[in-house]
Amino acid sequence: MMKKIAIVLFLSLSLLFTSNSNLNAQTIHSFGNMVKSVYDANNDGVVDEAETLSSSDTSRATITTQNISKTVGSGGDYSTIQDAFNDLPNLIAHTVTFTIKKGTYTDTLDTTSLKAITTTPNGRIIVQAEKYLDEIGTATGADATYLEDTTKSWATNEWQGCWVFIVDGTGTDNGMVEITSNDATKLYVSSWPGTQ
């Protein structure tokens, strides 16, 4: 009777990268002299036989090749955040941004199959609302019902229904406050402090 000594022993490995149009990913194919199992056929402690890996045994991992930006929700690139997450490459080496479209969104995200994220060059996953202000302004004026930044030129009511919070200086204890309307330079609220 043949005695199995080991399972999945990798003797050498080389990687070949190929393009994959799915979310701008590359596929990593593994090739080389790989051994699946080794056997001691006559029980003398010496390996007599080795079963090599077939092409179906090699795993395929994908990696991002550039920043990715996709929308989620009605009219977006994906209908659910789970679909978007599942479609990601296995290795995130760039910034991946999912923007949730405006509307009611009640889906959850199961991260049990979490992707590997690297810090080189900029591996991260960002999930943000459609009306996400990706900047920090400087308040040039404020009172009980508005916050002003004279360097802005927003469209009227562009931020209505969104939330604002102060991150530095006077008012940081106000919390998040819903924006009731806005003009080119002012965000209007019902009152400070915030309720959430």
Q: What percent of the chain has pLDDT over 70?
A: 62
pLDDT at res. 24: 42
C-alpha angle 185/186/190, rounded to 5°?
170
Q: Which residues pair with 73 in a beta bridge?
A: none
Task: State the Cα angle at 16 between 13 and 18, rounded to 5°.
Answer: 155
Task: Report how far residue 7's alpha carbon sits from residue 39's, in angstroms, rounded to the nearest whole number.
Answer: 9
pTM comes to 0.44
The pLDDT tens digits for 157-179 are 888 888 888 878 787 777 778 88
Strand positions, DSSP E, 53-174: 61-64, 68-72, 91-92, 95-100, 116-117, 124-129, 141-143, 146-148, 163-164
Instruction: Decide which of 65 and 183 is more confident.
Output: 183
**Cα 115 to Cα 99: distance, rounded to the nearest angstrom:** 18
Query: Can you give the residue ranges of every domain in the chain?
Result: 3-60, 66-129, 141-189
If you average pLDDT over residues 118-134, what whole number do you get?
A: 72
Q: What is the mean pLDDT of residues 94-117?
A: 77
| Tokens encoding 157 | 């009511």
